[in-house]
Amino acid sequence: MEHDIRLKIIDLNLGFKILKKFEDNWIYIKMVSHTSKNSSNCAYFKFKLKDFMLLDDDIFFYGNEDEDRLYLNKSGIVQTECSPEEDEILFKIASSDGVIEVFIKKYLPILNVRLDELTNPNKNIIITEGQTDWKHLKYALKKLNENGMFESLDIEFFEPDKKTQMGNDKLKKIRDYHALLENEYCKIFIFDRDADDINSEFGDAEVLYHGNNVYSMLLPVPEHRKDTPNISIEHYYFDKDLFREDSNGRRLYMVKEFDKITKKHLLIPNLYALKINKESSYIGILDYKIMKYEEQEVDLSKVAKDGQNIALSKSNFIKHIENEEFKGVNVAAFSSVFTMIEDILQDYLQNKAGEIEISKGAYLKKYPTGLSTLSLFAEAPKELLTLYKGTNLVTVGPVVLENHNKLILEIEALINEEWHQIIQFPLDITPYLVDFIMKKNKNRFNRIEFHLFSPDREISSSREILKDDISGTILLRALNQTSSG
């Protein structure tokens, strides 16, 4: 069988390993069906991949929304291909009428979509300075998770593109803007310690609360940097990792390696740091304009013109860590960051404005607009939840148990052309619930959101239920029948 000239044929299991790395990334999917009649049909869609799962016969791709999903039959795959950069996978699947090609590629959405992720996140979100700070944190969290640490940390990272400049001043403005808005989820803005104005704002504090579930924090100082606390994200690595050379002999440098007046390296001859001056921070990271000039030259303009830049950029430094060209990098010091994030999230959960638990697993939140949301949380078996995520046909029937003063929501889904009961969710009939149902009867945008998750928390589903115009009437009728009886 021929293969795409851009791609190379690989083993199917290797393809699965590559796809696992696509989790938490946006993916672009193109499906091309080549029929025996020499005609082709195409379909295109994209979403942010939350879970990639392998079962005995099927492959499942899930996004944040229930409609964000793709199922493939594993046994039908006859050829697997990938790009040299391992950012695209092609599955060729045999069908009764020809061959189906499924292209799955890492994708970066347009700026408006990414900014919407920041404004309306589906999870607690971390926003950092710079182009690479979030990449260091995301990689460190992944490695710490592999060692059984911070596995329940429920966060996502805002991922700006290369054109989006996120210096501390801009980050502060974005933070202050979002603090004016109502935020359902926690937003944590993380600042480096290398700017005096930011350090002054925090004073002796490491965390500030700005209202509306918006927090900011300074990077906690790791033990090995206690003597030099004005750190940026790269200082979490120990020097033996921070100063690693890549295959081209490039590495990061620190200001302390150079004489600030002559700009010469203190140990390596004919090496100059052209961007430092007397005000440069002693531990400032240098990733450009480190010039090698073979002659003993004091004319720095000539060094700048004819010298060879041998610095490793910050973006390439984290890239070498991610692709493990730099193997065995120690990320233990990042634990202090995630411990502080855990503390912030605990504070956020304890102080959710306007949210009260009205029954076990049921939380009522009132908004300044006068509308309310009733959020229901429950567990379901992994196998059943997987099937439930694959259908949009769901019914909810309210039943009242008078003797127990309970309203039971019986939730069923059409799976494989049969109706299956997913769960019976009990709600205590309290004044809070009655008031909510009466409001929903007047305005259906008082919403009921149903959140299901597997016992191991690997699979989850969130969808609105009872969202049509008559749902409030149906609920109110069930309660009225009880009171009249």
Q: What is the pLDDT of residues 445-464, one digit of tens each?
A: 899 999 888 887 777 888 88
Kindly report the CATH number assigned to the domain that includes residue 78: 2.70.180.10
Phi, psi for 265 (deg, rounded to 5): -65, 140
* Residue 253: pLDDT over 80: yes
| Percentage above 90 pLDDT, the chain | 49
Q: Would residue 324 count as lying in a domain?
A: no
Residue 155 sits in the same domain as residue 225: yes
Q: How confident is the model at residue 485 (pLDDT cuts 50, 70, 90)?
A: very low
Residue 71 sits in the same domain as residue 124: no
Residue where a domain terminates, one of 324, 350, 376: 350
Residue where a domain terminates, one of 107, 129, 160: 107
How far is 298 from 98, CA to CA, in rounded Å?
71
Residue 345 sits in the same domain as residue 367: no
Residue 60 sits in the same domain as residue 140: no
Q: Which domain holds residue 213?
A: 111-230+333-350
How is residue 449 written in tokens? 């959101």
Length of the chain: 485
Residue 210 sits in the same domain as residue 346: yes
Residue 139 sits in the same domain as residue 201: yes
Residue 198 sits in the same domain as residue 96: no
Residue 364 sits in the same domain as residue 444: yes
Q: Would residue 118 count as lying in a domain?
A: yes
* Residue 5: pLDDT over 90: no
Residue 200 sits in the same domain as residue 345: yes
Residue 212 sits in the same domain as residue 137: yes
Count the domains in the chain: 4
Give kind and range of the element (H or E) at residue 292: strand 290-292
| pLDDT, tens digit (0-9, with 9 covering 90-100), for 61-86 | 888 666 788 889 888 999 999 999 89
Mean pLDDT along residues 322-351:
91
DSSP-assigned letters across all residues of 209-268? E-STTEEEEEPPPPGGGTTS----GGGGS-HHHHT---TTS-B-EEGGGB-TTT-BBSSS
Residue 86 sits in the same domain as residue 134: no
Residue where a domain terminates, one of 107, 129, 157: 107
What per-residue confidence (pLDDT) applies to 416? 84
Residue 223 sits in the same domain as residue 337: yes
Q: Would residue 359 count as lying in a domain?
A: yes
